[in-house]
Structure 1
Amino acid sequence: MRYPAMLERLLPIGLLLASNLFMTFAWYGHLRFPNAPLGWVILISWGIALLEYSLMVPANRIGHLVYSAPQLKGMQEVITLLIFAGFSAGYLGQPLKWNHWAGFALIAVAAWLIFWE
């Protein structure tokens, strides 16, 4: 199925943003609740991850109409880092330090190279 050109370029980005928000909560949200039983944490995280996959799969399917698989992966990594930076500072109360930002910047440069023709 084809979509309007602008939608094919932007919809995957929006879906990747939403899916990464869910996945960040699935992976790290429980850290605010260290006394929660691990079994419950795993089940809740799996439920959240199901929502993430429900967004990630269409993001990649639609995105592959205009982006290569390596480009989609590079985009996803940068989005993950941006979501995580906000999550770490805002939800966990652990703002990133200079070395974290420097490491993330190197990953962003790597993603930029993926898009360079």
Structure 2
Amino acid sequence: MSLGALTPVVLLLGSNVFMTFAWYGHLKFGDRPLWVVVLASWGIAFFEYWLAVPANRWGHAHWSAAELKTMQEVITLLVFGVFSVFYLREAFTWNHAVGFALIAAGAVFVFKGPLG
């Protein structure tokens, strides 16, 4: 894989780390008012956009929009799995692993190309 094709993957990975914290990081702070965590989440998401938008713009030179979206979803599952175990201290069960694997298996068809 060329550097130009790999760069969007790295940027999507970084953007997903930010977005996961924006969407789920506040769960450890249930005592904070909702408006506070919404504003904090928006602030975190601002940095996510600075990675996701270039990832998709530059990535579109190497990948289709469907492939970029599929990459983003698979990366999201990987980042979220690590986040939920290490940050939220939640168990990652076989049900989660099987469900995530089935979603990732669907991604194979997007990258496979036209069937038939």
TM bucket normalised to smaller = over 0.9
1:21 has 2:17 as partner: yes
Runs of 5+ in structure 2 lacking a partner?
Answer: none
**4+ residue stretches of structure 1 with deviation over 3 A?**
none
Corresponding residue number in structure 1 for 2:106: 110
Deviation, 1:7, is 2.1
What is the Cα deviation at residue 37 of structure 1?
A: 1.1
SS class of match (2:91): coil
What is the CA deviation profile of residues 67-100 of structure 1, one whole-angstrom value per residue up to 9, with x for unaligned ones?
Answer: 0000001100000000000000000000211111
Unaligned runs of 5+ in 1: none
Aligned mates of 1:61, 1:93 — CA distance in 2: 35
TM-score, normalising length from structure 1?
0.94
Q: Name the TM-score, length of structure 2 as normaliser.
A: 0.95
| Percentage of pairs with the same residue | 58
What is aligned with 1:12? 8
Aligned equivalent of 2:60? 64
Q: What is residue 37 of structure 1 aligned with on the other side?
A: 33
Distance 1:48 1:36 in 2: 16
CA RMSD of aligned residues (A): 1.0
